[in-house]
Structure 1
Amino acid sequence: MGYSGHHQSDNFAYHSASYVQQYLKECYSKIELPDAERKSYDTCYRFMYFIEYGDRYYRHAETADAELKPILLFYGMIQLIKACLITMDPNYPGDTHVLAHGVTSRKRKKRQYAFLQDEVKGQKNGLFEYFSRKMFHVKQVEGEKYKMEDLLSLIPEISPLFKKLNRKVTKYTLTSLTPNSFTVPSSILDSLNMTVERFESYLQQQGIPSSKVITQTRDLITLQVLEVPVRELQERPFLYDKNGIYLPAERSQYNPITEVMAHYLILYNLSMICRYETEWWGDLFHTQESVDLPFILQFLDVTSEKIPKLLYAFLEKRGQQ
């Protein structure tokens, strides 16, 4: 599944009320909701408007100045997430708790502020907590802090920039040998600071079923697994882009945060900065002194293509299960 090309083209079916009604009925029947047919009629147009507005925000973002993109991309993402949630919960939003963004950002430090070191904090209620739990079965710890650099390191397309600008490796490529085995460079042991035995049990703790090391040479470790991960499913701790599947290089990256969650948190922060920190935001683009700018520009480029792809793949999967 590549992330290139225009993301709306495969999704015209969602602009047909009769298709959407049938699709939602299937989603609701699968989760054994009583009265699936009536509920699918009730939610059909709400679902379609979320899709339509989401697509519209993304379309406008394509031609907008980079300075304005975070707002358009953040609101586009929110609309598509709401469409995903309606396939699981026809009463969404059931109460006002789930309407807030569910994240707070720090008050800016005026001097020496660096975006990569900035943090956002998850809240007890709100959209972030709700979609993390409903869509990805990740329960939030209230008050958990997320650093921008750590979140960006979960996006493999940004890995070359980390290497170039920060001399930092963030991922190791997995090469599939058979449906049940792949190789990974042995140097991952150094970056995780582990013996091969510790690495094997660590992967099992991370929820990679029956992963075990079959062979190890100076350059490569061969791992046996129950099955090699499927890119569309976006299972952690694996990282995915259109070129392949990877294991993270640092222990801090082995966490349950899915890539969709990481994009949401980064976009939330950027959309707040460009609205309320106008002076810093203006300087960032005009002086181009900061190492932050390349990361922000690359992220905006990746998220504008990848998030619609991931969320539409999620909707597709809901219809098939």
Structure 2
Amino acid sequence: MHKTDPILTYLQVTAHTRPFLLDCYERMGHSRSEHHAYNNAERFIHGLTLGQDYWLTALDTPLSVRPLLFYYGMNHFIKSCLLTVDPGYPATAKVLAHGLSTRKRKKQHYRFLEDDIRIQPNGLFPHAAHHLFQFSSEKGKVSMDELLRPLPCMRELYELKKSPPIKIEEEWPDLLAYFAVLYNLSMLVRYEGEWWGEMEQMKDREDYVFIIHFLESAADQIPKLFASWLKDQFAAIS
């Protein structure tokens, strides 16, 4: 039974959310702090609620659609977090896109760990990376191996595989790594149904072990990562 962190429940009440957002905006010296705190409270709560609904639903959903639910759940969580640091979000339609892309057609002998995603100049991913973590990747693309290998939940699996070390050029915040990997998995579910189905049924590909282990970790870590980020915001305004 997965338990919800108290902060995610606490902030789903307007009487708690508005003062919290007001403190966030006043800390950044925003001239219309009260206005934005009032207007953004319901949107913030709605994002947290939907994020949790997607996450809880994913826990009891077949593997074939679980990455989609985790990915869209993270979208809603991220948008709520953005409202604490970017009162006018979304200011333009540009920030509404995914902000990530991947090859639509996979190679014949496709391997998930060797696949990569491209980081776009605009969209939710780069916007969240900048506003939530002050992070900006200098690389135009990043591989699944580079994203997965540094995650604490994946280290033992890489050790069992006796995978040779690779040079990790950038240290990604864990939350962004989960988001990026889930984006790619959601694309596989949507557009590579035959590959995904064979992987799930045959269980004879190394990719299967890594994907299953990652999704099991995501089930536990996604709400914890967002709860931790929000607690840091609380600490900053205390």
TM-score (norm 1): 0.70
Q: 2:85 aligned with 1:99, yes or no?
A: no
Q: How far did residue 285 of structure 1 move?
A: 0.6
Aligned letter for 2:170? Answer: N
Kept after mapping to 1: 8 A contact 2:94/2:123: yes
Aligned position for 1:262: 177
Aligned position for 1:154: 150
Aligned position for 1:46: 43
- Measured on the aligned residues, the alpha-carbon RMSD in Å equals 1.6
Higher fraction of helix: 2
Kept after mapping to 2: 8 A contact 1:133/1:140: no
Aligned position for 1:239: none
Q: 2:164 aligned with 1:164, yes or no?
A: no
Q: How far did residue 35 of structure 1 move?
A: 2.4
Aligned position for 2:110: 113
Q: Unmatched 5+ residue regions in structure 2?
A: none
The alpha-carbon distance between structure 1 residues 90 and 10, as it changes in their structure 2 partners (threshold 3 A), is closer
Q: How far did residue 10 of structure 1 move?
A: 4.3
Aligned position for 1:306: 221
Higher fraction of strand: 1
Q: 2:56 aligned with 1:31, yes or no?
A: no
Q: How far did residue 6 of structure 1 move?
A: 1.7
Aligned position for 2:18: 21
Q: SS of the residue aligned with 1:15?
A: coil
Matches within 5 A, 1:57-72: 57-72=54-69
Cα displacement string for residues 241-289 of structure 1 (whole angstroms, at most 9, x for unaligned residues): xxxxxxxx65x22514211111111100000000110000000011111
Matches of 1:7 and 1:64, distance apart in 2: 18
Kept after mapping to 1: 8 A contact 2:55/2:73: yes
Cα displacement string for residues 214-267 of structure 1 (whole angstroms, at most 9, x for unaligned residues): xxxxxxxxxxxxxxxxxxxxxxxxxxxxxxxxxxx65x2251421111111110
Aligned letter for 1:291? Answer: E
Q: 2:78 aligned with 1:81, yes or no?
A: yes
Q: 2:50 aligned with 1:135, yes or no?
A: no
> How many residues align structurally?
236
Matches of 2:6 and 2:233, distance apart in 1: 19
Larger Rg belongs to: 1
Matches of 1:13 and 1:82, distance apart in 2: 18
Matches of 2:117 and 2:33, distance apart in 1: 38
Kept after mapping to 2: 8 A contact 1:121/1:145: yes
Kept after mapping to 2: 8 A contact 1:8/1:55: no
Following TM superposition, the consecutive aligned residue runs of length 4 or more in structure 1 with deviations greater than 4 angstroms are: none
Matches of 1:23 and 1:146, distance apart in 2: 35
Between the aligned residues of both structures, percent identity stands at 31
Matches of 2:37 and 2:119, distance apart in 1: 32
Matches of 1:275 and 1:125, distance apart in 2: 22
Kept after mapping to 2: 8 A contact 1:7/1:305: no
Matches of 2:131 and 2:7, distance apart in 1: 25
Q: SS of the residue aligned with 2:11?
A: helix
Q: How far did residue 9 of structure 1 move?
A: 4.3
Matches of 1:76 and 1:293, distance apart in 2: 22
Aligned letter for 1:162? Answer: Y
Matches of 1:284 and 1:114, distance apart in 2: 11
Cα displacement string for residues 79-111 of structure 1 (whole angstroms, at most 9, x for unaligned residues): 111111000111101101100000111133342
Aligned position for 1:201: none
Aligned position for 1:226: none
Q: SS of the residue aligned with 2:101?
A: strand
Aligned position for 1:183: none
TM-score (norm 2): 0.94
Q: Unmatched 5+ residue regions in structure 1?
A: 170-248
Kept after mapping to 2: 8 A contact 1:98/1:130: yes
